[in-house]
Amino acid sequence: MQTVTSQDGTTIAFDRIGSGDAGTVVLIGGAFGYRQVPNTVALAEALAEKYGLRVINYDRRGRGDSADSPGVYDSANEIADLRALVEVEGGAAALVGWGSGAVLALLAARSGAVPGVTDVVAFEPPIVVDPKDHVPPTDAEGKLRTRIAEGKRGGAAWYYLTKIMGVPMAVAGAMRLSSVWKGLVATADSTAHDFAVLKPFSRGETLRAEDWAALEAPVLLLIGGRSAPALTKGAERIAEVLPDATLRELPEVSNDPVAAELAPAIGEFLTRAR
State the Cα–Cα distance between residues 76 and 37, nearest whole angstrom.
25
- Distances in whole angstroms, Cα of residue 80 to Cα of each of 59, 98, 112, 233: 14, 19, 11, 28
pLDDT at 20: 80
pLDDT the model gives residue 108: 98
Q: Residue 210: left if φ>0, alpha if ψ -120 to 50, beta else—which one?
A: alpha
Q: What is the pLDDT along the chain (274 residues), one digit of tens a residue?
A: 999 999 999 999 999 999 888 999 999 999 999 999 999 999 999 999 999 999 999 999 999 999 999 999 999 999 999 999 999 999 999 999 999 999 999 999 999 999 999 999 999 999 999 999 999 999 999 999 999 999 999 999 999 999 999 999 999 999 999 999 999 999 999 999 999 999 999 999 999 999 999 999 999 999 999 998 988 999 999 999 999 999 999 999 998 889 999 999 999 999 996 6
Q: What is the pLDDT of residue 118?
A: 97
Identify the DSSP state of 105. Answer: H
Taken in order of first residue, the domains within the chain and their CATH numbers are 2-128+206-270 (3.40.50.1820), 140-197 (no CATH)
Could you give the angle at which helices 259-270 and 38-51 cross, rounded to 10 degrees?
Answer: 40
Instruction: Write down the pLDDT at residue 19.
Output: 84
pLDDT reported for residue 274 = 63
**pTM exceeds cut of 0.75:** yes
